[in-house]
Homo-oligomer: A and B are copies of this chain.
Amino acid sequence: MSDTNDRLVQLEIDVLAENDKQAAKNRQYFEENSILALNLVSSPGSGKTTLLCETINKLKSSLNLAVIEGDQQTLNDAERIRSTGCRAIQVNTGEGCHLDASMIDGACRQLKPQPHSVLFIENVGNLVCPAAFDLGEDCKVAVLSITEGEDKPIKYPYMFQASRLMILNKIDLLPYLNFDINKCVEYAKRVNPDIEVIQLSATSSEGMQQWCDWISNRFKQINKK
């Protein structure tokens, strides 16, 4: 077993090193074209696609937008995004548990996001594996539904360490749950003191303006460089 484990660790390093090389190329491409690429990561069912649809509806008159959708199977999410009028491409990972940088490269070649645009990447629903894979994005945004419990940042610390922003989604359900927002934020800051936090509900719209402002500000910073 230990020989296999040694080879596994070595190969994991190889795979991550190759991924990082492609991620660096993606990052250069995004920077040269002033594309703000946001990598949305979460558990399955945190509400990323609904959040994206609502975000697109609020921002599409002021910003150029495009979406890369990652899922093990189905084209459902890309179709939901396209129904907002936004361009989207679906990447099916099959048995794979995360998007990698070469998938993003391939998707961008087809999708051709416009210069000076925002590219949302919705990763496979998985709070573990996507943490290790740099896609060349500006930053990761961790979406946590408050139905999942406030302990997730300390139980899955790598994802919250890797993210610049934590979105607490579905806060319209707060009256029906035992969820301690302060404790959740404290846990997130314990694993990542710099993490920013936005509370919102994509269905009730509460907090959506703050999130859209966050995107617009981040987009301005990218375009200042």
Contacts and interface: CB of A to CB of B under 8 A. Distances in A.
A128 B72 contact: yes
Nearest to A96: B128
A209 interface: no
Interface in A151-174: 151-152, 154-158, 170, 172-173
A113 interface: no
A152 B18 contact: no
Contact of A76 (B46, B147, B155): B155
Interface stretch (A3-11, A26-34, A52-60): A3-11
Contacts of A129: 97, 126, 128-129
Contacts of A172: 176
A149 B45 contact: yes
Given A76-B151, A129-B128, A8 B15 contact: yes
A4 to B, nearest CB: 6
A147 B170 contact: yes
A148 to B, nearest CB: 2
A134 interface: no
A127 interface: yes
A14 interface: yes
Given A147-B45, A170-B147, A155 B71 contact: yes
A102 interface: yes
A44 interface: yes
A95 B151 contact: no
A18 B176 CA distance: 45
Given A44-B156, A71-B155, A126-B129, 16 more contacts: A1-B18, A7-B11, A7-B14, A43-B43, A43-B45, A46-B148, A47-B149, A72-B158, A73-B155, A73-B157, A74-B151, A74-B154, A76-B154, A95-B158, A125-B155, A129-B129
30 contacts: A1-B18, A1-B102, A4-B11, A4-B14, A4-B15, A7-B11, A7-B14, A8-B11, A11-B11, A43-B125, A44-B127, A44-B152, A44-B155, A45-B147, A45-B148, A45-B149, A46-B148, A72-B128, A72-B156, A73-B156, A73-B157, A76-B155, A125-B155, A125-B156, A126-B128, A126-B129, A128-B129, A129-B129, A147-B170, A173-B176
